[in-house]
Structure 1
């Protein structure tokens, strides 16, 4: 029922659908929170995997290399998403090799 509401809420209107199915708005929004919770849990697992790979490889991989490491583990993300997770969310930056003069 909730999936049907999600699919047709823009066409028929959310409040109208909730009244027809006799569902309180609070129950519907609780359903949405639970759905987002599963997404956040998956996102957190990916971030933990990124941190593990990053520190295991001596803080060297950048977002491009990290994407390759993740793909080897069966996690497919865009380069932009990996960059966002690493640099903005986790504050993990690649350490470039420095040459000594």
Structure 2
């Protein structure tokens, strides 16, 4: 049996996956927007890719979440993202 993904990149994808689920964005919609297969989207969201994600991929996924939640929507329950929480311009894993 393969060990579950670990590390900062896997943690990032896990958080994004929680957000996608909370916003109820279907993986098929993400696959369509990113021009990827459903299996590739599943690998991404489950942290099975070890590379740092490209910003455009993240931006498109976040745009889908924002579209589903609507403008000014609260942070979805279960997400560890919080308003006012800043992110450094250099990710910790680089």
Same fold (TM over 0.5): no
Q: Shorter-chain TM-score category? A: under 0.3
TM-score (norm 2): 0.28
Rg larger for: 1
Higher-RCO chain (CA-CA 8 Å, sequence separation at least 6): 2
Q: Which has the higher helix share?
A: 1
